[in-house]
Amino acid sequence: MKKIINIKKQAGFNLIEVLLAFLILSIGLLGVAGLQTTAVKASQTAMLKSIAITKVSEMIERIRANSAAAITDYELALGTVGIDKGCDTRSATILATQCSPADLASNDLYQWEQSLTNGGLPDNTDTDASIVIDDAAVPPIATITVYWKERGENMSYFSKIQQIPGAN
């Protein structure tokens, strides 16, 4: 006697299999979204650091360009602001008649600090800078530090120590 075996072939997916596949896909997509968020945040931090590097280099060039000023005229403590002396740095004749080298140094500090927030760093009360000059060293050494705070983050900073040849 022959037994008839009725084997049903599977014709589709079970609901459990579909839900499990959806769960695995959802977890994967959440991981990709988290990775994207981290990448955007790191990109923003890198951009701000690049701006800070540019601003520090700009101040070093301002110090070098005003070699007639005492290098200590460029010292800047945290929380202090340079004074706008109205020096017009675009014209050598106006500059020579209107501003002393010390006035130009103060004006440089003022314009530079204004450019920190106008130039791309976060415009908040935590954005600040300091310049410490070691004039006992030969050539003098300037330590320029820029501080800023990104939204929801701890304080960030970039600091550069640079010899200033030819400075007084």
For the ranges 21-25, 90-94, 113-117, 164-168, the one whose mean pLDDT is highest:
21-25
Domain of residue 45, residue span: 16-163
The CA–CA distances, whole Å, from 22 to 11, 12, 86 equal 20, 16, 66
Strands laid side by side in the 128-134 sheet:
128-134, 141-149, 155-163
Residue 7 resides in a domain: no
Residue 147 resides in a domain: yes
- pLDDT of amino acid 31: 95
Residue 11 resides in a domain: no
Per-residue pLDDT tens digits for 40-91: 988 988 898 899 899 999 999 999 888 888 888 999 888 887 788 777 656 5
Residue 78 resides in a domain: yes
Could you tell me the two tokens for 10? 């599977």
Residue 5 resides in a domain: no
DSSP 76: B
Residue 8 resides in a domain: no
Q: How far apart are CA 59 and CA 143, in angstroms?
A: 11
Residue 92 resides in a domain: yes
**HSE toward the beta carbon, residue 123, CA cutoff 13 A:** 6
Looking at the 3D structure of the chain, how many domains does it have? 1
Could you tell me the two tokens for 22? 């959806």
